[in-house]
Amino acid sequence: MSQSEALVKLELLSNPLLNSGAREMLASVARRLGFGDEAAGHIALAIDEALCNIENHGYARDPGRPIWISVFAMGGLASNGADSSPTSALKIVIEDEAKQVDPATIRSRPLDEVRPGGLGVHIIRQVMDQVIYERRSGRGMRLTLVKFRPGSGPGSGAGSHAGGVPGSGPGSGPVSGPGSGPSSGPGSGAGSGPTIRPGNGQGSGAGGASQSGASQSGGSQSGGGQSDGGQIGGAHG
């Protein structure tokens, strides 16, 4: 399996009842690839926050809209019987068909503003090593998350990776380009492959990308950016 081929592909509806299954599956995959419990927990937390943001803000709590998740093992996979995993990082791409927004406006609410909610974007950036928000070609948003295994990337731990990862930056990645992605037809892009549906179960965005390290609570946002409470497509917080 090449690094450009998705290890896992999920298609689910925007129903909060499905979130726990998605996050637990991806955390389990991370553990099997050599990530410790803490790192796997960070991945599960980021997935949960991202899905909640799409459901609550992008889709305005409509439980019947599509969400696609693709997982890529950077550095490759261990062969059967190997003592260690060569996987250096997990790249997780989450796509939707929600309203598109300028990625540069996506930010968390001020941390000193005491009220419930509104910290999803901040939490995601704190627990993941790379966070990229993009518009998808046509419609919807794309969120790319990268988590390094401790000691396997440039630096280690959340907050130390603001730089690029092969295949994860704007204009690159296995889920980008014309004719790819969930909206380009049956059986293509992140919308193909194994699915999870209720009852049975980076990219080439049309707009710019917002890229930040996990320790940046503001990312590339400045000025009058939109806070978590508003509708910000697939990149809500």
Single out the residue of 33, 20, 22, 23 nearest to residue 72, CA to CA. Answer: 33
Predicted confidence pLDDT, tens digits, the chain (237 residues)? 667 899 999 999 999 999 999 999 999 999 999 999 999 999 999 999 999 999 999 999 999 999 999 999 999 888 776 778 899 999 999 999 999 988 988 776 666 665 545 688 999 999 999 999 999 999 999 999 999 998 776 544 444 433 344 343 333 343 333 334 444 433 344 444 434 333 333 333 334 455 544 433 333 333 334 444 433 334 555
The residue type at 184: S
Judge whether 169 and 133 are in contact, CB under 8 Å.
no
The three-class DSSP label of residue 212 is strand
What local confidence, expressed as pLDDT, does residue 192 receive?
40
What local confidence, expressed as pLDDT, does residue 88 receive?
95
**Number of helices (H), then strands (E), in the chain:** 3, 6
Contacts of 165 (CB under 8 A, 6+ apart): 74, 89, 91, 130, 146, 153
What local confidence, expressed as pLDDT, does residue 209 receive?
52
Q: What are phi and psi of 72, to 5 degrees?
A: -125, 135
Distance CA 185, CA 164 (A): 29
Handedness of CA 44, 48, 54, 59 (dihedral sign): positive
Q: Residue 114: exposed, middle, or buried by beta-carbon count in 10 A (0-12, 13-18, 19+)?
A: exposed
Single out the residue of 131, 118, 110, 26 nearest to residue 73, CA to CA. Answer: 26
Q: Where are the domains of the chain?
A: 8-235
Q: What are phi and psi of 60, to 5 degrees?
A: 50, 40
Single out the residue of 84, 91, 93 nearest to residue 136, CA to CA. Answer: 93
Q: Residue 196: exposed, middle, or buried by beta-carbon count in 10 A (0-12, 13-18, 19+)?
A: middle
Judge whether 190 and 70 are in contact, CB under 8 Å.
yes
What local confidence, expressed as pLDDT, does residue 136 receive?
97
Contacts of 5 (CB under 8 A, 6+ apart): 72, 174
- Provide Rg for the chain, Cα atoms: 16
Tell me the CATH architecture of domain 8-235: 2-Layer Sandwich (3.30)
Distance CA 9, CA 64 (A): 19
The token pair that represents 100 in the structure block:
């598109």
- Alpha-helix runs per DSSP H in the chain: 19-32, 37-53, 120-127
